[in-house]
Amino acid sequence: MTAKCDGDIKVYKKDGDLIIGGLLGVHDYDEKTNTCGNLSNVWAPARAEAIAYAVSMLNNDSNILDGLTLGYEIYDTCDSIAETIRHTLNFIPGLRERDDVIGIVGPPRSASCIHVSTILSLYNVSMISHLATSDELSNGQRFPYFLRTVPPDKFQVSAIADILVEYGWKYVAFLYADDSYGKNAENEFSMQTKKKEICIGYSRSVPDSADDNFFNNIVNDLLTRKKDSLLSVVILFILRKDVRLLFKQAMEANLSEDFIWIASDGWGSFGLDPVKGLEESAVGAITISPKAEPNPEFSSFFIKTVYSSRNPWIPEFVRDSKRLKEQFPHELPTPSYESTIIDSVEVLARGIDALRKNICDRSMNISTCRAMLFRNRKLLRDHLLDVTFESSSNGLVTFTENGDSRARYDIWYLEQTEMDVYRLNNVGSWLQDNASGLQLDPLNWYLKEESTANGFTYSLDNIPKSVCRDPCVRSIQRFINNHCCWECEACKDNEIIRNNTCVSCFIREKKVYMWPNENLTYCVPLDKLKLQHEGDKIAILIITSLCIVAEFFVTYLYIKNREKRLIKASSRELGYIILVGVFLSYLSAILYSTPSSLLNCLLRRIIPNIGTAFIYIPLATMTVRLYRIFRSGMRTTQRTKFISPKSQVLLTFFLSMIPVSALCNV
């Protein structure tokens, strides 16, 4: 076992008959200096040690490989596609001094796996990734030598979609990485949510070069969307480094408990590390990660050998773990995905052993058998697909024909304890082979409770809302851009709501006259008004009758003295119309005090309008007539036009019919 440095390149290696290559992201990549930066996670060096542990364990197992020994050669990809390709070239058979690489474990990033698998497939070299989840890698024709011990993203998307359905979240934002991992997830999410009638109110791809300004714009966009709607849920299918940049800007914008973040394994697989020191802006986040339990035996092995290991990255682990223990005494992350790396190495070993049994005779020496294995690397992939075993940490390990593992996810929730300590607690799971799929514990929500122009943040059952608009009350929905966003439009007083349409309770053709019930769901018959011959109604009838008698007496005097100068000068024809209007007004009071009937209801609709028009329009016509006469007398001696009694009566009737017709048609 050696740790070798080739210039600035560190490699962790051990000789053996069959070499397993390792491509692991131990450090982050510094875009400014184009070099490897800090450790991607305090436990990142332990991933390389997991390969060493698995190889040691298998070499000591007499039931496998029959004397053939495994070795390893591990490189740090720094989570960079360029660095990954660079180190992949070290495993190409024609470029090595000795053809001894039988398979590769890693890299963790989907975009890197696409390039690595394309290169290695030219030489029939199989690879197994412990974290790459892009659906694109499920294409067995494009990537015939690729397998993974984690499920593809389509199941992770299903888990997220089921969470949205569970809480009734119909309107969400979606941020995704601008690579195979994010784009395929976005396509799958769009298809699945469309079937579940969930809308994406805001969608944005995140390029690999995204910086603080980019995420500052995203935070502002999300706040704008929140003001215009009740959007509260933001889905994150972005890389770990971008998660940190996003919440850094959220922290600077004083965002805390403003959104519910649901993150894929791009964050979920790394625990609290992506938001360390930024938890206040991320509290209440839900993260998803492929199910991976810690391996207790490896943990013991790692602790015992940490200071004696030749792992070139262990000194950084020791330094950073001490620093974190000082800064966060209540919590130090523990390893988990090391167990999927161990499973990946064991899959390779079991596949190699199955191939060995098929092509090597018992009498064949190790050197000859080894050479046969390398000549038949193409057959190894089929034997890997047939591998099935019970992992000591993660249960049954098996593969589909495309090299995918069965889907099992843990669901985590970022909570704040009473001591102001932030923890990611396991609150549920999602299993592909479980009929119910999603299992979730009750959650303690951290979303601010507030009232907006569009409604309240929480529903009646105290679950946060994430919708475009609240349902319309006593009104219909007019959709704007999609089935999730609408404006509310009130119906008329005599209409009910049926299939989001206003339907009148009046059907004149069939002489059906009803009225909406209180909830506007159906029409009910109108109750007839019955005259109660008591009290105020009797008083109204008596007073109205006396007024009608008095009005008849006035009419008699008006007709009797119709030739008198005063009456003739005051437009007696218009006076007759006014007297008719007064009579109709008195008659209206009687109509509303008598039992209802079809004729009575019709007269109630018409008579008051005619009476009012016949009173006020003739008065206005008289006034205008006198004004025109006196004004024209001051200017000319010619007779003024349209002031004759006939003209005045016609004008009055014409003007009276306009409001009467309009009111009768309502």
Q: Give the model confidence (pLDDT) of 344-390 as tens digits.
A: 999 999 999 999 999 998 888 999 999 999 999 999 999 999 999 99
Answer left, alpha or beta for residue 651, where phi above 0 means left and psi between -120 and 50 means alpha: alpha
Average pLDDT taken over every residue of the chain: 86
CA–CA gap between residue 58 and residue 70 (Å, rounded): 8
CB 126 within 8 A of CB 104: yes
**N-term to C-term CA, the chain:** 94
pLDDT for residue 7: 47
pLDDT tens column, 107-140: 999 999 999 999 999 999 999 999 999 999 999 9
At 24, list the tokens: 């692991």
CB 163 within 8 A of CB 285: no
Residue 665 phi/psi, 5-degree rounding, is -90, -10
Higher pLDDT, 82 or 602: 82
CATH number for the domain running over 2-150+293-385 = 3.40.50.2300
pLDDT tens column, 498-532: 887 888 888 766 666 788 888 888 888 876 555 55
CA–CA gap between residue 369 and residue 544 (Å, rounded): 121
CATH topology of domain 153-291+408-452: Rossmann fold (3.40.50)
Torsion of CA 191, 197, 202, 203, to 10 degrees: -10
Whether 422 shows a pLDDT value over 80: the answer reads: yes
pLDDT for residue 330: 47
Question: Binning pLDDT at 50, 70 and 90, where does residue 427 land?
Answer: very high
**Of 103, 617, 642, nearest to 384 (Cα)?**
103
Q: Is 204 exposed, middle or buried (0-12, 13-18, 19+ CB in 10 A)?
A: middle
Provide the b/e sequence for 480-512 (b: ≥16 CB within 10 Å): eeeebbbeeeebeebbbbeeeebbebeeeeeee
Concatenate the DSSP letters of all residues of 450-498 into one string: -EETTEESB-TTS-B--BSSPPPSSEEEEESSSTT-EEEEEPPTTEEEE
Residues pairing with 74 in the sheet: 12, 22
pLDDT tens column, 581-594: 888 888 888 887 77
Architecture of the domain defined by 472-525: Ribbon (2.10)
pLDDT for residue 656: 73
pLDDT tens column, 273-298: 899 899 999 999 999 999 988 888 99
Residues pairing with 234 in the sheet: 173, 261
- Quote the crossing angle between the two packed helices 338-359 and 377-385, to the nearest 10°: 120
pLDDT for residue 6: 46
Question: Binning pLDDT at 50, 70 and 90, where does residue 646 land?
Answer: confident
Beta-carbon contacts of residue 502 (< 8 Å; ≥ 6 apart)? 476, 491, 492, 495, 496
Give CA 590 to chain center in angstroms: 63
CB 229 within 8 A of CB 454: yes
Residue 214 phi/psi, 5-degree rounding, is -60, -50
Whether 602 shows a pLDDT value over 60: the answer reads: yes
